[in-house]
Chain A
């Protein structure tokens, strides 16, 4: 059981470049999430998905897009990277029982935008 995995682990982009972060989970979880972590600000929700084919905006969605074509995968895209998107990105997944479920986190992707 790999749990939640993220690809890549580290990436450097130039301003204006695009990239996709991949999250995969093997726990058959319905819900998946993308967060960004910045010093002193904790984790902030970017987008989330409550099932295959569905996505919704979180707290800080601007500049990001997501897709959930398969239940086990959740992709985060940056179409035109900006220095403000330099951050550590975490994917998480959980079962779908209302609000009380533990979220399981991946190891993170460190992104530097120059």
Chain B
């Protein structure tokens, strides 16, 4: 079984400042890693995912994440945030060997971008 811990429940940040959202996971097997974003009153949409290969993954809207196997982390970063990045961000993992393509989510991190 896997588990995902998002270390910050809320992150306030000023517009044009950088932001980093931390995600650590626990698993006895290799996993795929995902970041999803939920804008207010909407469903989730994929930001980026790590399947294999380069540990630096680039996603939509200028976000990127780095996979660190030794630290079992998958932190999300953006060098300069906009007001429109105000949302909740979820880290998730899936087990390639398990049936059903199921995701295990972290508790989420709310990002509030201030002008």
Contact = CB atoms under 8 A, between A and B. Distances in A.
B107 to A, nearest CB: 5
A99 B96 contact: yes
A98 B94 CA distance: 9
Nearest to B44: A105
Interface in A13-33: 31, 33
A67 B2 CA distance: 27
Given A90-B43, A99-B94, A100-B96, A40 B101 contact: no
Interface in B32-50: 32, 34, 36, 41-46, 49
A71 B9 CA distance: 37
Interface size on B, as a range, is 20 to 34
Contact of A94 (B90, B96, B101): B101
Nearest to A44: B105
A107 B101 contact: no
Nearest to B98: A99
B100 interface: yes
A99 B95 contact: yes
A102 B105 contact: no
Given A43-B44, A43-B90, A105-B44, A56 B49 contact: no
6 smallest CB-CB distances across A and B, nearest first, come from: A105-B43, A42-B105, A99-B96, A99-B94, A105-B44, A43-B105
